[in-house]
Amino acid sequence: MKPETEDRISESSDELYERFTLQVDKGQEPLRIDKFLASRIERATRNKLQQAMSLGMVTVNGQAVKPNYKIKPLDQVCIYSDISPEETEVVPEKMDLDIVYEDGDLMVINKPAGLVVHPGSGNYNGTLLNGVAWYLKQQNPSLTEDVLPRFGLVHRIDKNTSGLLVLAKTDIAMRQLAKQFFDHSVKREYHALAWGDLQQEQGTIVAHIGRHVRFRKKFEAYPEGDHGKEAITHYQVLERFGYVTYVRCVLETGRTHQIRVHMKHLGHPLFSDETYGGDTIVKGTVYAKYKQFVENCFAICPRQALHAKTLGFVHPVTQQEMFFEAPLTPDLEKLIEKWRSYAAGFKKE
What single string gives the DSSP state of each residue in 167-203?
Answer: EESSHHHHHHHHHHHHTT-SEEEEEEEEES--SSSEE
Instruction: Answer whether 163's CB lies under 8 Å from 310's CB.
Output: no
- CATH code given to domain 17-82: 3.10.290.10
Q: Is residue 53 very low, low, confident or very high in pLDDT (cuts 50, 70, 90)?
A: confident
The pLDDT of residue 41: 74
Catalytic residue among 158, 171, 183, 331: 158
Residue bearing the bigger pLDDT, 302 or 16: 302
What's the pLDDT score for residue 14? 64
Protein fold of 99-182: Pseudouridine synthase (3.30.2350)
Cα-Cα-Cα-Cα torsion 223, 225, 230, 236, nearest 10 degrees, comes to: 20
Per the annotation, the verdict on 226 as an active-site residue is no
Residue 151 banded pLDDT, cuts 50, 70, 90: low
Domains 17-82 and 187-348 share a fold: no
Domain locations in the chain as residue ranges? 17-82, 99-182, 187-348
Residue 45's pLDDT band, with cuts at 50, 70 and 90, is confident
> 3.40.50.970, 3.40.50.1100, 3.30.2350.10, 3.40.50.1980: which CATH number matches 187-348?
3.30.2350.10
pLDDT in the model for residue 7: 39
Q: What is the pLDDT of residue 277?
A: 96
* pTM of the complete model: 0.80
Cα angle vertex 288, ends 285, 291, to 5°? 65
The band of 239, judged by pLDDT with boundaries at 50, 70 and 90, is very high
